[in-house]
């Protein structure tokens, strides 16, 4: 008998197996951005600003914010309430931890 004449039964995955597979595919396997990593990133960005842009480096004491993007981390500082002006923004590469961009908002 040929394969065309035979019915082939394809087993259906169980709900738990499907759920596990969906969760596994949806999980982010990149390293977590914990507080210690954030501190190192902020320190690296602040040192870079101090060395390359000393007039921008008045970020001591300002709250920092680390945002994760596909290829880099973005470090910014928040200005106090009521203060007009801009703040430095530093991008640090995920692949080699080097500063790839520094700019100042206004």
- 32-67 pLDDT, tens digit per residue, is 578 899 999 999 999 999 999 888 767 778 899 999
Residue 29: pLDDT band (50, 70, 90) is: very low
Is this model's pTM higher than 0.75 or not? no
Q: Residue 3 — pLDDT band, cuts 50, 70, 90?
A: low
Instruction: Supply the DSSP string of 38-91, one letter for each residue.
Output: HHHHHHHHHHHHHHH-GGG-TTTTSPEEEEE-SSEEEEEEPPPTT--S--EEEE
**Cα 39 from Cα 49, distance rounded (Å):** 15
In angstroms, the CA 90 to CA 47 distance is 11
- The pLDDT-based confidence of 6 (bands split at 50, 70, 90) is low
Higher pLDDT, 78 or 25: 78
Q: What average pLDDT does the segment 75-104 reach? A: 91
Which residues sit opposite 67 in a β-bridge? Answer: 74
């Amino acid at each position: 008998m040929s394969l065309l004449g035979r019915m082939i039964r394809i087993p259906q995955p169980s709900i738990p197996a499907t759920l596990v597979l969906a969760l596994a595919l949806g999980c982010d396997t990149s390293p977590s951005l914990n507080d210690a990593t954030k501190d190192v990133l902020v320190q690296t960005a602040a040192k870079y600003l101090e060395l390359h842009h000393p007039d921008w480096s008045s970020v001591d004491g300002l709250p920092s914010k680390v945002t994760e993007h596909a290829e880099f981390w973005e470090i910014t500082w928040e200005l106090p309430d009521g203060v007009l002006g801009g703040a430095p923004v530093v991008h640090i590469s995920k692949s080699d931890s080097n500063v790839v961009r520094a700019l100042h908002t206004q």
